């Protein structure tokens, strides 16, 4: 039995399993359809999303429960009322039961009534902020539909404005008067501003190992300032993202000495255990079996510094890495990472032994952007080189400097459903940095994720790179060149076999790379099981001047995803759409994690 047959059998097994699990006892009534009559303002699809009782779909059955259906009808009316249709009614419902197939057909007849609109908006009781400023903060204008959510949002905007200026106890109440004959609404917001507070004492609660200064340096407020509530929340977020705490709560409380103009700030902390020991095993189509052992202290002597030691082994690699992280460098919010490594790696065209280290200094800007500078010191020995034009053994001593920028809006780093990721790197090797090789490398990556609907994600990823040597160098080391093909690249090809090859079909890499995972559609099928279809395009060129669009290689395929507690299991079959002589028509891939 060949690999294609095994993959097809695996796919069919998952399909049958999910289909069997999706079945319910035949006594239950499956909802075949839900239809509406009399709706003009909202589509049938929009109304169905309000209800729990929905039409059954493939591998996603929906069953009829009378009590839930009654609740759905109430929710329909509430939905209309919250969107300005205050006189909406349900004129009747019809539930038709097919006792032979155990199915129901639901028909709902509606009367939407006339839309109520806003006639005027005003604020009263405000002394600190003028009417014009307050009205600019809300999205309610005369003639707008009377929508309850906009009123709630307006109240929240007012309270946020006051809370960010020390008025923590401010109250806002809407006074709404509706004329049922004209279907017009007058909205008045009644504001009670109350007292403005400044910060009294700052109390830390729950500290065991962490030093107080580690917490205070993350705070965006200090004693004596007017309380700004968003700064309390952002400080809470920063403390939590430090990784030192299981939970962080920052809240104002009455001042200890009864001062009515002040509020003390209580910071409640629950520390994480600083010692971590991780053991991971897995399987990948390139590495085959693999294992990794890690040991970390994430809060060295209560300073938030992190030290770690990790070792990895697989059928093609093994290595040891020691790391040190200083989150605040010399008292500034710049993170410093130091890594020392020893690694052995078997590549298709050579074996690589390398030792060295990296020094990375960087910081975040806002919530999404990161900039860093990296110094790499690495001595490498290439052995068993199979490329005919290169000696069997080669040594390189690299000294490089890299400037990096990252902008990341993804909602999840490991299984993204929306957002995008952009990374740009400029690397200089040699020159004033010394070393045996001198070259420049520019590399960019872009990833995009968009939900088409709740269970369907469309994703795309692009990687481009250019490099060239200069000075005394006459070429670029094999281990520094660009390669393409394999599980995380062009999936219809073997590992590194897209791009320049020598006479013995050994990959030799290139100086220009463009790989575009053109589209990947991720569809949830049943609970933890999902399916993808994809198309990839790209290539690697020996030199930039050799680039031509006709050289792009293409692949497409499909795969399975199983979202387990230890990570996503991935099985893909990539098809080489235009195989050349000696190339396989496709590749079966097993790995952990999404492709990108």
Domains of the chain: 29-111 (3.10.20.310), 117-192 (3.10.20.310), 198-271 (3.10.20.310), 358-592 (2.40.160.50)
Work out the angle at residue 446's Cα, subtended by the Cα atoms of residues 441 and 449, and round it to the nearest 5 degrees: 165
Name the nearest CA neighbour of 314 among 297, 289, 293.
Answer: 289
State the Cα–Cα distance between residues 95 and 98, nearest whole angstrom.
10
Token pair belonging to 166: 């020390």
Alpha carbon 155 to its chain centroid, in Å, reads 31
Q: Across the strands, what pairs with 288?
A: 284
Q: Which of the residues in the chain have pLDDT under 70?
A: 1-27, 59
Token pair belonging to 277: 């020991």
State the Cα–Cα distance between residues 138 and 160, nearest whole angstrom.
12
State the Cα–Cα distance between residues 369 and 516, nearest whole angstrom.
23
- Span between the terminal Cα atoms of the chain, in Å: 31
Around Cβ 96, how many Cβ atoms within 10 Å? 11
Taking the whole predicted model, whether its pTM rises above 0.85 is answered as: no
Token pair belonging to 126: 């405000």
Percentage of the chain lying above the pLDDT 90 cut: 87
State the Cα–Cα distance between residues 374 and 211, nearest whole angstrom.
29
Name the nearest CA neighbour of 499 among 536, 543, 468.
Answer: 543
**What is the per-residue pLDDT for 27?**
67
């Amino acid at each position: 039995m060949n690999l294609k047959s095994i993959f097809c059998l695996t796919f069919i097994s998952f399909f049958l399993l999910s289909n069997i699990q999706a079945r319910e006892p035949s006594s239950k009534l499956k909802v075949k359809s839900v239809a509406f009559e009399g709706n003009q303002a909202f589509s049938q699809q929009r109304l169905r999303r309000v209800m729990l009782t929905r039409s059954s779909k493939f591998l996603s059955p929906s069953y009829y429960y009378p009590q839930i259906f009654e609740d759905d009808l109430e929710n329909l009316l509430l939905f209309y009322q919250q969107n300005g249709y205050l006189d909406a009614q349900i004129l009747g419902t019809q539930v038709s039961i097919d006792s032979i197939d155990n199915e129901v057909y639901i028909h709902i007849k509606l009367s939407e009534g006339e839309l109520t609109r806003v006639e005027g908006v005003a604020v009263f009781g405000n002394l600190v902020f003028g009417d014009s400023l307050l009205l600019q903060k809300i999205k309610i204008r005369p003639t707008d539909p009377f929508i309850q959510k906009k009123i709630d949002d307006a109240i929240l905007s007012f309270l946020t404005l006051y809370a960010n200026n020390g008025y923590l106890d401010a109250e806002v109440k809407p006074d709404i008067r509706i004329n049922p004959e004209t279907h017009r609404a007058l909205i008045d917001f009644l504001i009670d501003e109350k007292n403005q507070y400044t910060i009294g004492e700052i109390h830390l609660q729950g500290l065991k190992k962490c030093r107080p200064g580690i917490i205070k340096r993350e705070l965006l407020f200090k004693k004596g300032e007017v309380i700004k509530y968003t700064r309390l929340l952002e400080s809470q977020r920063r403390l939590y993202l430090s990784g030192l705490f299981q939970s962080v709560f920052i809240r104002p409380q009455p001042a200890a000495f009864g001062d009515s103009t002040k509020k003390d700030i209580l910071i409640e902390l629950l520390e994480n255990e600083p010692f971590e020991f991780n053991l991971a095993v897995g399987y990948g189509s390139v590495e085959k079996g693999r294992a990794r052992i890690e040991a970390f202290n994430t809060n060295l002597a209560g300073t938030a510094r992190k030290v770690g030691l990790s070792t990895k082994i697989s059928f093609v690699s093994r290595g040891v890495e020691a790391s040190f992280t200083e989150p605040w460098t010399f008292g500034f919010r710049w993170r410093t990472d130091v890594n020392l490594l020893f690694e052995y790696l078997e590549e298709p065209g050579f074996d690589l032994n390398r030792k060295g280290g990296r020094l990375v200094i960087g910081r975040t800007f806002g919530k999404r952007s990161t900039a860093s500078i990296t110094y790499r010191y690495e001595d490498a020995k290439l052995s068993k080189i199979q490329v005919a034009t290169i000696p069997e053994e080669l040594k390189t001593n690299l000294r490089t400097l890299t400037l990096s920028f990252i902008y990341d809006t993804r909602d999840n780093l490991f299984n993204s459903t929306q957002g995008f990721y952009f990374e740009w790197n400029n690397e200089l090797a040699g020159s004033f940095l010394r070393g045996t090789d001198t070259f420049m490398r520019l590399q960019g990556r872009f990833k995009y994720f968009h939900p088409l609907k709740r269970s369907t994600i469309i994703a795309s990823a692009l990687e481009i790179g250019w490099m060239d040597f200069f000075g005394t160098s006459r070429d670029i080391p094999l281990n520094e060149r660009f390669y393409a093909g394999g599980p995380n690249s062009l999936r219809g090809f073997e590992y590194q076999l897209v791009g320049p090859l020598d006479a013995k079909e050994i990959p030799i890499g290139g100086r220009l790379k463009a790989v575009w995972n053109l589209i990947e559609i991720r569809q949830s099928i049943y609970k933890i099981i999902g399916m993808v279809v994809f198309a990839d395009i790209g290539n690697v060129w020996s030199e930039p001047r050799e680039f031509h669009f006709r050289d792009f290689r293409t692949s497409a395929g499909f795969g399975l995803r199983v979202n387990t507690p230890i990570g996503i299991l991935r099985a893909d079959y990539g098809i080489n759409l235009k195989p050349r002589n000696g190339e396989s028509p496709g590749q079966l891939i097993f790995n952990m994690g999404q492709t990108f």
